[in-house]
A = this chain, B = another copy of it.
Amino acid sequence: MSTMTTASPDALAQRLADSGLRSTPQREVIYDVILRKRDHPTADEVYARVRADMPSISLATVYNCLETLVQCDLVRAVNFERAPTRYCPNLHPHAHFHDEQSGSIHDIQLPAELLEKISSVLPAGYDAKSLQITFRGKAQPAA
């Protein structure tokens, strides 16, 4: 059994409990929405999707829950330039490809070997805790 990198909906309650937090209907439906369509939605897009199931939820709660999911390491917040923050359930180390044509975001798998090479360009004294790699350009609708 390898390390868990993309949790299931069931994992949510456990992960929240581990952090001393409650599993709430709002947190559940938001996490579910993010797992269901992995297109790196913004908070507004999450809000729109969640309201289909839960019309009374507030935008403030969407922001609060997304922050909670990020804190619990169930979701990653990713930023491109100064555009609205997007949310990604892919917990593997990966790069992002931003298609300028369509605005869509694609995950790019990164070999561990390459990650190591990249980190090795840091001069002595630099200790990187995280690494962010973003491509921008044109992507074929291949598939």
The interface of chain A, by Cβ under 8 A from chain B, is 79, 81-82, 85, 95, 97, 100, 106, 108-111, 114, 117-119, 121-140, 142
7 closest A-B pairs by beta carbon, nearest first, are A125-B140, A125-B142, A129-B137, A128-B135, A128-B137, A132-B134, A130-B136
Minimum C-beta distance from A23 to chain B (A): 28
Chain B residue numbers with a CB within 8 Å of A136 are 128-132
Give A113's nearest chain B residue, CB to CB.
Answer: B117
* 29 A-B residue pairings within 8 Å (CB atoms): A82-B85, A97-B126, A100-B129, A106-B126, A108-B122, A109-B121, A110-B121, A114-B117, A114-B118, A114-B121, A118-B118, A118-B133, A122-B135, A123-B142, A124-B140, A125-B140, A125-B142, A126-B135, A126-B138, A126-B139, A126-B140, A127-B137, A127-B138, A128-B135, A128-B136, A129-B137, A131-B135, A132-B135, A132-B136
Which residues of chain B are near A142, meaning CB under 8 Å?
123-125
Beta-carbon contact of B127 and A139 below 8 Å: yes
Residue of B nearest to A78 (CB): B81
Q: Which residues of B contact A121 (CB under 8 A)?
A: 95, 108-111, 114
